[in-house]
Structure 1
Amino acid sequence: MTDDQQAEKPTGVGAPRIARVVHSDPNAPASPEQKPLPDSVVRKPVDKKSAAEWAYERLILYIQNFEEQLDSEQEIAIGMTGGNAGVLRIEGVGYFDPDIITFYGSDESGMRTQLVQHVSQLNVMLRALPKLEETPVARRIGFRLAEDLEQDE
C-alpha cells in the first residue's frame, strides 16, 4: 500500500471513519491510518463508544506503532504541548468516560507525573527517550494496552 492509500476499514452503521495519511518518504513504515483496525477496536461500534474510549483505542494504535520503530535502548514518552511541562515517560494510559484521557509516568528526572486531558484538548507528541539504566530491557506499554483491549470482552 502506498502512503496516500487508505487501509481497508470496516464499513456500516457505527463503523470507524476512514483514516488517511501521506508520508514524504515512500519507504516510511506503515502508520496506524494505513493498517486495518484490530478486532478489539471494531468489536464495539463507534457510535456506542464515548469520545474518551474511542480516543483511547486510537492512542493505543499510535503508541504501538511508534514503539515498533524504537530500538532496544529507547522507550516511549510524550512531550507536553503548551508551556514548559517537559516530557512524560509513558508508564500507563487510561480513560474516564465520557471525555477524559490520562497518561501516567515519570518525568526526565524520575519524578512521578500524570497528565489528565479532556479529549477536546488532546494534543500529544510521542517521543523516544533512552531506556532507564536500571531496566534490563526497554518497557513497551503499547503491547500491554493492546492486550488489555483484547481481554475487554
Structure 2
Amino acid sequence: MSDTEIRTTAEAHEASALPCARVVHMDEDAPDTPETLPLPPELVAEPLEDKTPAQWAYERLVLYIQNFEQQLDADQEVAMGLVGGEAGVLRIEGIGYFAPDVLTFYGQNEEGARTQLIQHVSQLNVMLIAQPKPVEAEPPRRIGFRLAKGLEQGGNGARPAAPVTQEGA
C-alpha cells in the first residue's frame, strides 16, 4: 500500500490487529512454515488485542510444533532442547499457559524422568528437535495434531483451569 492510498478506518484497524510474520530460507524448495501459512480461522476469531501474551505465544507455538511434526519421519517425535545449564532435551507431551504471561511444557527427559518447564513469555526460547521415538512398536505420538485439534474445538485448545480465587474473597 502506498502512502497516498486512502484506507477506511475499519481497514486501518484490521491491518493494525493482524500479526506480521516473515521468513527467508536458503532452500527455495523449503517446506512452508507458520510464517508463510495463513492463520487458522480459530486463531483469528478472537481479536489479537484481547489475547494475553501467554495465549498468543501458546497459539503460535502450537502452529510451529504441528508444522515441525508434519516434516518428521515415522520413527521420529518432537522434543525441545532446553536452553541454559545442563537441562538437556524434553520430549514434549503437553503444553499449557497460565495467562497473562506463563507457558508450561510437560514431558520426559532423555532418561525418561517426568519433566516440567515453566517459562515466562519474555524468556521464551524453544528449539524443536527431531528425536527417535522411544518404543519401536508404538506409532509416533504427534502432540501438534492434538494441540491444533484443541484450537479448532474451543479457541485456545486448553482444558479449562480451575477458577483462581483469592482467600477471603
TM-score, normalised relative to structure 1: 0.89
Report the counterpart of residue 119 of structure 1 in structure 2: 121
Report the counterpart of residue 14 of structure 2 in structure 1: 12
Would the alpha carbon gap of residues 37 and 16 (structure 1) be closer, same or farther in structure 2, given more than 3 Å must change?
A: same
Structure 2: 5+ residue runs without aligned partners? 1-12, 156-169
Say whether residues 1:85 and 2:61 are aligned partners: no
| Structure-2 separation of matches of 1:80 and 1:144 | 22
TM-score, normalised relative to structure 2: 0.81
Report the counterpart of residue 7 of structure 2 in structure 1: none
Structure 1, residues 8-42: CA drift from partner, whole Å, max 9, x if none? xxx70663322100000001001100000001110
Structure 1, residues 74-132: CA drift from partner, whole Å, max 9, x if none? 00000001111000000000000000001000001100001100000000100011011
Equivalent in 35, 41, 44 of residue 43 of structure 2: 41
Report the counterpart of residue 69 of structure 1 in structure 2: 71
Q: Is the 8 A contact 1:32 1:62 kept in 2?
A: yes
Q: Give percent identity, aligned residues only.
A: 62
Report the counterpart of residue 110 of structure 1 in structure 2: 112
Would the alpha carbon gap of residues 112 and 14 (structure 1) be closer, same or farther in structure 2, given more than 3 Å must change?
A: farther
Structure 1 position 151, deviation (Å): 1.3
Q: Secondary structure at the match of 1:93?
A: strand
Structure 1 position 136, deviation (Å): 1.4
Structure 1: 5+ residue runs without aligned partners? 1-10
Report the counterpart of residue 31 of structure 1 in structure 2: 33
Q: Which has the larger radius of gyration?
A: 2
CA RMSD of aligned residues (A): 1.4
The runs of 4+ residues in structure 1 deviating greater than 2 Å are: 13-16
Q: Secondary structure at the match of 2:134?
A: coil
| Structure-2 separation of matches of 1:13 and 1:23 | 26
| Structure-1 separation of matches of 2:21 and 2:93 | 27
Equivalent in 131, 134, 143 of residue 133 of structure 2: 131
